């Protein structure tokens, strides 16, 4: 992927006045072309230094923020508005690159704009950045370019990503509280084992006698924390790195994704989320005029679950042989009977897109409702869990004190 470089320039406007500035572009030729579109005659173009000291941008590998779904939703919405208002594609991309809050997206948009400036179509320019632009977005843009309704295609993409971001944020919000509570429990347990239990251990040794079994377990755990703590910390870091590197490989997805859908309570939530995403993406692709086989392939890639992806491969084979979509879906347990029946009705009536839209709306609401219910249920359970763990440790520490008369004999 071609990278962008900062360039300083001097240009002469129509009145003969010298204008100076700095832009990001892939080459000096791209800068010169931009200056001409701005009504400037290039005088000098020089590569600008990246910056030093406090002005230099620092990026830490693995911690740099990439392009998020919210960034793409905002970009698609603004792009749709500007193109429908009659702004040229070049001007639109320039404005988006300057206005977006995402530095990663701004750099990519500069490259895309330069590619478009050289005659490349927008969809092909975006395809060079497949890690940042999802396949559904690229193909929707391509369909819009071909059919002459790019603004409508971008509007559809914006709505799709906005709903996806809304659902994702709903689930993240629901999961924040449990994660914080579990983190507090882990820190509390580790703190007690490292700092408090050794103090009580010294006191117990001075008393003599036999410690109660819960207290013995606690003391043993405290003694093992010397090597177990660092080992768990290193193991969690290594595990996180490995997961981040391998979570999208076919072997891992094939093993993990079916298990996700079978988890108690959360499995049902993930199933509804996957069905909502499948229905919404498939409806948008059909509405944009993307060929159905290509749409099925793209929807499978963007489903986020191996089970759905494999099911849609079977659907594609069925369609390729002239058969229906609903029949192979019925063989997959991940698709509820209502979904299969509505897809079948949509096929028979020629209103498949409308039916898929209704399915997506229904399961969007189901995900929100279930998330709210889980949040209400999890809060008291986590408070009870916190009380049992920390309270149990405190009771185990004070059991010998309750029996102090016996231990002192």
3-state secondary structure of 9: strand
* The pLDDT value given to residue 342: 92
Residue of 238, 234, 239, 233 whose CA lies nearest to 194: 233
Q: Contact, 21 vs 9, CB < 8 A? A: yes
Tell me which DSSP letter residue 193 carries: I
Tell me which DSSP letter residue 208 carries: -
Q: Residue 95: which residues within 8 A CB-CB, separation 6 or more?
A: 78, 82, 87
Cα three-residue angle 168-123-85, rounded to 5 degrees: 85
Residue of 214, 251, 262 whose CA lies nearest to 397: 214
Q: Contact, 294 vs 357, CB < 8 A? A: no
HSE-up (13 A, CA, CB side) for residue 407: 17
What is this structure's pTM? 0.66
List per-residue pLDDT tens for the chain, 409 residues long.
445 667 787 777 777 777 777 777 777 777 777 777 777 777 778 776 554 433 344 444 444 456 788 888 889 989 988 888 888 888 899 888 888 888 888 889 989 988 888 888 999 999 998 888 888 888 888 888 888 888 888 888 888 888 888 888 877 877 787 888 888 888 888 888 888 888 777 777 766 667 778 888 888 888 888 788 788 889 989 998 998 888 878 888 888 888 888 888 788 888 888 888 888 888 888 888 888 888 888 888 777 788 888 888 888 888 888 888 888 888 878 888 999 999 999 988 889 899 999 999 999 888 888 888 887 888 788 888 888 888 888 888 887 777 665 555 5
């Amino acid at each position: 992927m071609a990278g962008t470089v900062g360039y300083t320039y001097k240009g002469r406007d129509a009145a003969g006045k010298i204008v100076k500035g700095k832009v990001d572009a892939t080459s000096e030729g791209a800068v010169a072309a931009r200056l001409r579109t701005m009504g400037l005659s290039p005088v000098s173009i020089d590569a600008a230094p990246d910056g030093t000291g406090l002005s230099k941008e620092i990026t830490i590998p693995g911690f740099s923020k990439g392009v998020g779904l919210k960034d793409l939703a905002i970009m698609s919405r603004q792009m749709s508005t500007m193109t429908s208002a009659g702004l040229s594609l070049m001007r639109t991309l320039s404005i988006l690159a300057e206005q977006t809050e995402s530095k990663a997206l701004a750099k990519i948009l500069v490259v895309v704009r330069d590619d478009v400036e050289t005659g490349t179509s927008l969809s092909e320019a975006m395809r060079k950045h497949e890690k940042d632009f999802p396949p559904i977005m690229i193909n929707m843009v391509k369909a819009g370019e071909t059919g002459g309704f790019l603004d409508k295609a971008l509007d559809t993409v914006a709505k799709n990503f906005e709903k996806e971001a809304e659902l994702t944020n709903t689930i993240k919000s629901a999961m924040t509280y449990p994660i914080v509570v579990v983190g507090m429990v882990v820190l509390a347990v580790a703190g007690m084992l490292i700092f408090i239990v050794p103090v009580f251990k010294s006191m117990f040794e001075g008393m003599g006698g036999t410690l109660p079994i819960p207290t013995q377990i606690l003391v043993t755990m405290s003694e093992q924390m010397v090597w177990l703590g660092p080992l768990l910390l290193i193991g969690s870091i290594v595990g996180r790195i490995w997961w981040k590197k391998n979570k999208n490989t076919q072997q891992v997805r094939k093993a993990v994704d079916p298990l996700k859908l079978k988890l108690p309570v959360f499995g049902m939530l993930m199933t509804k989320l996957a069905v909502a995403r499948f229905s919404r993406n498939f409806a948008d692709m059909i509405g944009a005029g993307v060929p159905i086989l290509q749409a099925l392939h793209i929807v499978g890639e963007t489903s986020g679950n191996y089970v759905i992806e494999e099911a849609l491969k079977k659907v594609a084979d069925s369609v390729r042989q002239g058969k229906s979509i609903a029949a192979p879906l019925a063989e997959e347990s991940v698709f509820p009977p209502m979904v299969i029946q509505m897809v079948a009705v949509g096929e028979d009536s020629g209103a498949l897109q409308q039916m898929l839209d209704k399915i997506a709306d229904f399961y969007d609401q189901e995900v929100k409702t279930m998330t709210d219910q889980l949040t209400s249920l999890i809060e008291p359970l986590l408070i009870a869990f916190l009380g049992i763990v920390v309270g149990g440790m405190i009771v185990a520490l004070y059991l010998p004190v309750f029996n102090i008369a016996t231990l002192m004999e």
